[in-house]
């Protein structure tokens, strides 16, 4: 007995899976990571938000006084404090400068890696990875020794004996920013270098045959093709640099003279652990989280408008 299979049946058996099933595939793949990250972050975020609406000080920690619900009281106190706005502006400017400098240095070295031979590439990569692997406290201490007022190598080499880099507000921020860039550019360099290596060589060869310069090739070919990678790099850099704590706290000894080098993270630490205003410190943390979330969403929305896949 011969079985006759219609063309419609063959077409149905070879058709692509339904759109809904294909749309759920990434969700199932991301679900294990989402479960782990949720267990690590959801409960601390809940506790942070809870403390931000409570009057929670040292007396409440020790159990001497009951905890009071103040609602938006901590936020009202925060937003009416002029110091909050000055620290916020300083944090945004400092983070923006660090992000731009990190991207510039990392991108320049990533392009350099594609132009040098194997041995120099290996040495540069090892040096960058060594800088990235140094703990923040150790790296900050070494930089402070290099820029020491009397014994620092930099002051002796520049003939600036007795000059204190941490005394001025802008010189202190500049030095801390240099340490942040030094510790952050390897991530940008390696990520962008991997993205550049993934670009088909035929595209770059065609640009060279058309007479495109290195600078024009970078901006008009490499950068557009690296936008998904740049999205990851930019978002990570913004998050890291906006919440910088260790370098500023160690190098400025807690925020500089009269708090001139305070950032939101250091100020939150001072309010929570130095002044025992745990509710107010938690409110600062919630505000920082919301700012970073807003910046990330705006950046992703901008990329989606350009039609770039994420």
- Domain residues of the chain, as ranges? 54-305
What pLDDT sits at residue 170? 92
At a CB cut-off of 8 Å and minimum separation 6, what does 105 contact?
181, 185, 188, 189
283 neighbors 263 (Cβ within 8 angstroms): no
Full pLDDT tens readout for the chain, 310 residues = 444 545 554 455 455 555 555 667 878 888 888 888 888 888 888 888 999 998 888 877 777 777 888 888 899 999 999 999 999 999 999 999 999 999 999 999 998 998 888 899 999 999 999 888 899 999 999 999 999 988 888 988 888 888 889 898 999 999 999 999 999 999 999 999 998 888 887 887 887 787 777 778 878 888 888 888 888 888 889 888 998 999 999 999 888 888 889 999 999 999 988 888 899 999 999 999 999 888 888 877 776 765 555 5
Instruction: Give residue for tokens 């850099």.
Output: 237
Max CA distance (Å), the chain: 102
CB atoms within 10 A of CB 200: 9
Q: Which helix (H) or strand (E) holds 50?
A: helix 19-51
What is the third-level CATH fold of 54-305?
A: MetI-like fold (1.10.3720)
Half-sphere CA count of 280, side-chain side, radius 13 A = 21
């Amino acid at each position: 007995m011969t079985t006759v299979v219609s063309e419609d049946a063959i077409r149905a058996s070879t058709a692509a899976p339904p759109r809904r099933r294909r749309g759920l595939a990434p969700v199932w793949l991301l679900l294990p990571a989402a479960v782990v990250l949720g267990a690590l972050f959801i409960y601390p975020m809940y506790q942070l938000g809870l403390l931000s609406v409570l009057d929670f000080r040292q007396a409440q920690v020790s159990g001497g006084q009951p905890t009071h619900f103040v609602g938006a009281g901590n936020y009202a106190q925060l937003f009416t404090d002029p110091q909050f706005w000055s620290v916020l502006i300083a944090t945004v400017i400092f983070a923006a400068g660090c992000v731009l400098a990190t991207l510039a240095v990392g991108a320049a070295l990533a392009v350099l890696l594609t132009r040098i031979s194997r041995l120099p590439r290996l040495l540069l990569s090892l040096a960058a990875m060594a800088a990235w692997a140094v703990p923040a406290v150790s790296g900050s201490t070494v930089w402070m020794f290099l820029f020491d007022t009397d014994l620092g190598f930099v002051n002796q080499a520049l003939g600036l004996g007795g000059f204190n880099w941490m005394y001025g507000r802008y010189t202190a921020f500049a030095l801390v920013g240099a340490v942040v860039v030094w510790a952050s550019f390897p991530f940008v360099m390696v990520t962008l270098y991997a993205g550049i290596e993934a670009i088909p060589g035929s595209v770059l060869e065609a640009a060279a045959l058309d007479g495109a310069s290195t600078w024009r090739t970078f901006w008009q070919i490499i950068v557009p093709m690296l936008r998904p990678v740049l999205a990851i790099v930019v978002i990570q850099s913004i998050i890291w640099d906006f919440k910088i704590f260790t370098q500023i706290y160690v190098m400025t000894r807690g925020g500089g003279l009269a708090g001139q080098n305070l950032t939101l993270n250091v100020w939150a630490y001072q309010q929570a652990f130095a002044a025992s205003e745990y509710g107010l410190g938690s409110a600062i943390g919630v505000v920082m989280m919301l700012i970073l979330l807003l910046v990330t969403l705006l950046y992703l929305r901008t990329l989606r408008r350009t039609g770039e896949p994420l």
